[in-house]
């Protein structure tokens, strides 16, 4: 009390922490902004309005590599799974992700036997870490936060170091 530290909030944050290096980044769409020296993981649903809003803000981040895990919430966005598969299997998945998050039409995956989508793996990964909504963000310190953050709060989250 004397120090004004919320020990419960710190403990909850510690329990929810995910070791960034443990994330299977090879199963995420990689987009680099600036020199890409900082890292951010985002679980996103291409049809989620909050994920779409966040995508617009991400473009203004300074020197950050964003790893986007395609996490369709099929119960509320029934077409998101097919779109996520199409994004993953596109020649330029980062560009296709950008189009999908703008609401542009993207070519559906027509049972492409040459492409094995990772979306099912991402859904399992999210469940293992208790992630149930989008967008969910994880910084290099392993902290997580949800929602379409305004730029200043987003940049502070990316810049945060493990406490």
Q: pLDDT of 148-162, one tens digit each?
A: 999 999 999 999 875
- 1, 2, 5, 27, 142 from 82: Cα distances, Å: 51, 54, 46, 16, 30
The answer to whether residue 30 is domain-embedded is yes
CB 94 within 8 A of CB 31: yes
Q: Are strands 38-44 and 64-70 parallel, antiparallel or unpaired?
A: parallel
Q: For residue 119, give the CATH number of its domain.
A: 3.40.30.10
The answer to whether residue 53 is domain-embedded is yes
CB 94 within 8 A of CB 67: no
Give φ, ψ of 33 to 5 degrees: -115, 130
Q: Where are the alpha helices (DSSP H) in 35-117?
A: 49-58, 80-89, 93-102
Q: pLDDT of 123-138, one tens digit each?
A: 999 999 999 999 999 9
The answer to whether residue 115 is domain-embedded is yes
The secondary structure of residue 114, as a DSSP letter, is T
pLDDT band at 108 (very low <50, low <70, confident <90, very high): low
The answer to whether residue 1 is domain-embedded is no
Residue 43: per-residue pLDDT: 98
Q: Which of 106, 51, 102 is nearest to 76 (CA)?
A: 51
Number of domains in the chain: 1
Q: pLDDT of 18-75, one tens digit each?
A: 889 999 999 999 999 999 999 999 999 999 999 999 999 999 998 999 999 999 999 9
Q: What is d(CA 156, CA 43) in angstroms, rounded to the nearest whole number?
A: 19
Neighbours of 37 (CB within 10 A): 10
The answer to whether residue 149 is domain-embedded is yes
Query: What residues contact 49, with CB distance under 8 A and at least 6 apart?
Result: none
The answer to whether residue 2 is domain-embedded is no
The answer to whether residue 153 is domain-embedded is yes
For 107: left if phi > 0, alpha if psi spans -120 to 50, otherwise beta; the answer is beta
Q: pLDDT of 6-26, one tens digit each?
A: 655 655 565 567 889 999 999
Tell me the residue range of the domain where 137 lies.
Answer: 7-159
Residue 7: per-residue pLDDT: 57
pTM, full prediction? 0.88
Q: What is d(CA 84, CA 43) in angstroms, rounded to the nearest whole number?
A: 12
């Amino acid at each position: 009390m004397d120090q004004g530290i919320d020990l419960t909030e710190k403990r909850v944050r510690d329990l929810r922490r995910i070791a960034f290096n443990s994330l299977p980044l090879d199963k995420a769409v990689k987009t680099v902004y600036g020199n890409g020296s900082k890292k951010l993981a985002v679980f996103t649903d291409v049809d989620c309005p909050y994920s779409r809003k966040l995508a617009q803000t991400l473009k203004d981040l300074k020197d950050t590599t964003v790893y986007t895990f395609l996490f369709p919430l099929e119960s509320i966005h029934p077409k998101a799974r097919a779109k996520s598969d199409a994004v993953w299997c596109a020649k330029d998945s980062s560009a296709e992700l950008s189009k999908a998050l703008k609401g542009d039409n993207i070519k559906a995956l027509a049972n492409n036997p040459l492409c094995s989508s990772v979306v099912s793996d991402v859904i399992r990964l999210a469940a293992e870490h208790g992630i149930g909504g989008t967008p969910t963000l994880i910084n290099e310190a392993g902290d997580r936060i949800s929602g379409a953050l305004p730029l200043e709060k987003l940049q502070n989250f990316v810049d945060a170091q493990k406490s």
